[in-house]
Structure 1
Amino acid sequence: MPNPWDLPDELPTDPPLTRCELPDGRVVSAVQEAEAHTLWEEISSAAPYRRAAEGLRPDEAVIDVGAHIGLASLLFAQLAPDSRLIAFEPAPKAYTCLDENLARHLPGATASRQALGAAPGKSELIYRPYVASASTLYDNAEDDARNLEVHLDNVDANEQTREVVRRTFNVTQRVPVEVTTLTAVMAEHGVDRVGLLKIDVERGELDVLDGIDPARWPGIRRVLLEVHDIEGRLGQVVSRLAGLGFQATICQWGVYVGGSVHLVLAERD
């Protein structure tokens, strides 16, 4: 990590895309190389991610909402190669990487530059070019600061690293994005059965669930969500899924212990 005092006074808001090599030798397009390596390590080693893709059937789709550059999609396709995969990412540069990565490694998959929410329309994305995975439609500076500091504490970051991370995290752009619903997505793509619905949308998880018509829920077998537990949201999500017949398992990655971010895997037969 560079010395923070070596950073320019004004960080570029449009840094160039890059490429990086995953541990298995696959080369992927990335917004930031360090972020891609960190995310792949987290995702590929997380038991809920692997459990979520186990035993998926060829007639079941995988829908990746908040796909970023497609790392979770790559893992799911590796574990369930016969399932159809549809991935959504509204951030323009992250979407460019997603589209390239799916075309390169999963040519049968579909990438879409849309956000998913409770109703179709337009919204504004707060895009973080140095931490694109933290881009969001749902601004909450207090929650962001809490999770950032917890993460830095849990990795025992030194003061120079903390300063670099804070500065880069606070570089943002506001980008208009199109919003659709999961109900509309399933209709558009002719999907009746979803073996795995993965949602990682930085505080927008309830809105994504609100965009699923009751008639569509019987066709969804597993849901993997990142939930920010703000104002009881974790309990709301688990209760809603339980009411739909799902059994939920909740955990936290070690770097988020003490923060609001939880991982929920909800399953049913």
Structure 2
Amino acid sequence: MKIETDSLDDLRSIAMQAPRRQSGILVFRNFEIEYDDLLSLYMEIKNIFENRIYDFRPVPERSMVIVDGGAHLGLAALRFHSLCPEARIRCFEPDPGICAMLRRNLARNGLASVEVVESGLSDCEGLSRFEADGADGGRMIDASAPPSGSMTIHSERLSAHIAALGGRLDFLKLNIEGMELPVLRELEAVGQLASIDRLVLEYHGWAGGEQRLGPVLDLLDRNGFRYLVHDFDHETNAASKPPFRNAGQTTWFALVYGSRVDAPLGETRT
């Protein structure tokens, strides 16, 4: 199915009525995007292009280095490129089918120079269990979990890639479905958080899962980051809006923005 619209409201209406987890092509404004689930794509477009959740101010007079962890269909990379066309962007996506769509989306929108790594990010390198959901919520799962519906994917340490990219990141985006804290801890252990100027991560508070937002914020604080926390709009994250009904089985999300104290937004660190 191919859909063409320039209106976010029209896209929302179409997505709300469309069958879930069916692939197609969307022509939206200046972009052509292959998707696996139209409702998920609508939410990504709304959040990334309209609400600008991953926006940053380009560093003047320098070609920025950006890592997109959990790139999915490439919407964040498209936005990064529009903000800073000269940036070097490296994307990570572990799901083979989604990664193929990511590559095609980058190519059809003129971003063939963006680097794609078919791998997940973790605190160790090797093979991991991954559970796809047919939309945008696939995630690594514990090796002891039942194998139904899961696949084996490759996972890598981000620290090795930072070194290969010259030892510095201007901007790091992590939307890796609960692996944010292990990745940050590994970077801290090898002393590489000091090489990251700015970051944004999506915190996933899984129903009944370990509560990790506190440790994430503590880690950023002790490594010289000032942070802001945002909980999306009502459509994306109704669970965090009053009146609160938290019985311990509530899934919710938050965005954490961090910038190093010695690297103000839009300025270059010395």
| TM-score computed with the length of structure 2 as normaliser | 0.75
The one-letter amino acid of 1:192's match is G
Contact 2:94 2:153 (C-alpha < 8 Å) held by counterparts: yes
Give the corresponding residue for 1:178: 154
Q: 2:103 aligns with which of 79, 99, 114?
A: 99
Larger strand percent: 2
Per-residue CA distance 1:182-218 (angstroms, 9 max, x = gap):
112223x433221111000111111221232533222
Q: 1:63 aligns with which of 62, 67, 73?
A: 67
Q: How much has 1:16 moved relative to structure 2?
A: 6.6
Q: 2-side partners of 1:2 and 1:109: how far apart?
A: 33
Give secondary structure in 2 for the equivalent of 1:261: strand
Q: 2-side partners of 1:248 and 1:47: how far apart?
A: 17
Q: 2:122 aligns with which of 108, 117, 120?
A: 117
Give the corresponding residue for 1:244: 223
1:210 matched to 2:178? no
Q: 1:228 aligns with which of 193, 200, 204?
A: 204
Give secondary structure in 2 for the equivalent of 1:197: strand
Q: 2-side partners of 1:71 and 1:249: how far apart?
A: 23
* 5+ long unaligned stretches in structure 1: 140-171
Q: How much has 1:261 moved relative to structure 2?
A: 0.6
Contact 2:58 2:64 (C-alpha < 8 Å) held by counterparts: no
Indicate how the Cα distance of structure 1 residues 251 and 257 shifts in structure 2: closer, same or farther if over 3 A, else same: farther
The one-letter amino acid of 2:258's match is A
Q: How much has 1:2 moved relative to structure 2?
A: 5.6
Q: Which moved more, 1:205-214 or 1:108-117?
A: 205-214
Give the corresponding residue for 2:27: 21
Give the corresponding residue for 2:173: 198
- Map 1:3-152 to 2 at 5 A: 17-22=23-28, 24-50=29-55, 53-56=56-59, 58-105=62-109, 106-129=111-134, 131=135, 133-138=136-141
Q: How much has 1:93 moved relative to structure 2?
A: 1.4
Q: 1-side partners of 2:108 and 2:17: how far apart?
A: 32
Q: 2-side partners of 1:47 and 1:73: how far apart?
A: 13
Per-residue CA distance 1:108-148 (angstroms, 9 max, x = gap):
1101110010010111110011x2x1101137xxxxxxxxx
* 5+ long unaligned stretches in structure 2: 1-15, 143-147, 240-250, 264-270
Larger helix percent: 1
Where does structure 1 differ by over 6 angstroms across 4 or more consecutive aligned residues? none
Give the corresponding residue for 1:142: none
Q: 2-side partners of 1:251 and 1:257: how far apart?
A: 13
Q: 1:256 aligns with which of 221, 237, 240?
A: 237
Aligned residues: 222
- RCO higher in 1 or 2 (8 Å CA, sep ≥ 6)? 1
Q: Which moved more, 1:92-101 or 1:56-65?
A: 56-65
Give the corresponding residue for 2:11: none
Q: 1-side partners of 2:51 and 2:138: how far apart?
A: 22
Q: 2-side partners of 1:2 and 1:59: how far apart?
A: 42
Q: 2-side partners of 1:80 and 1:59: how far apart?
A: 8
Two-structure CA RMSD over aligned residues (Å): 2.3
Contact 2:65 2:165 (C-alpha < 8 Å) held by counterparts: no
Q: 1-side partners of 2:52 and 2:26: how far apart?
A: 24
Q: 1-side partners of 2:159 and 2:67: how far apart?
A: 12
Contact 2:173 2:200 (C-alpha < 8 Å) held by counterparts: yes
The one-letter amino acid of 1:194's match is L
Contact 2:32 2:108 (C-alpha < 8 Å) held by counterparts: no
Q: 2-side partners of 1:17 and 1:190: how far apart?
A: 34
Identity of aligned residues (%): 25
